[in-house]
Amino acid sequence: MRELVFKNITSLDRRRKITYTSEINEKDGLRSIIHRHFIYVIKEEDAKNIPEIKNLSPILYILREHNKKEQREKFLCRIKGVFYVINNGRLFSIFYRHSLKISLIALT
């Protein structure tokens, strides 16, 4: 059995976009659940702030949990950061956050 869910949400002012997918799969006595989130927020910046743009390195979080007793395993990866775009002489900052969550469960 396989179940897929897909959501694409954009705010009315088009400054925020959220994409979400979820997949549940059962095969060979194992259930896998995968969730993906992609979030983007756009904000117009003052062009005078360009020299203040410093650290553009994204931040990465990884979490792994293994439970032999309950026969479960979880993995979470989240990356977030910001990048800048110039369009028609206007400066925009785009904040993003991507996350991936995978759960594996043994069916008994």
How does pLDDT run across 36-79, given as a tens digit for each residue? 999 999 988 877 766 566 667 889 999 999 988 888 999 999 99
Residue 69: burial class (beta carbons within 10 Å; 0-12, 13-18, 19+): exposed
Query: How much is the pTM?
Result: 0.78
Structural domain spans, the chain: 2-106
**47 — phi, psi (to 5°)?**
-60, -20
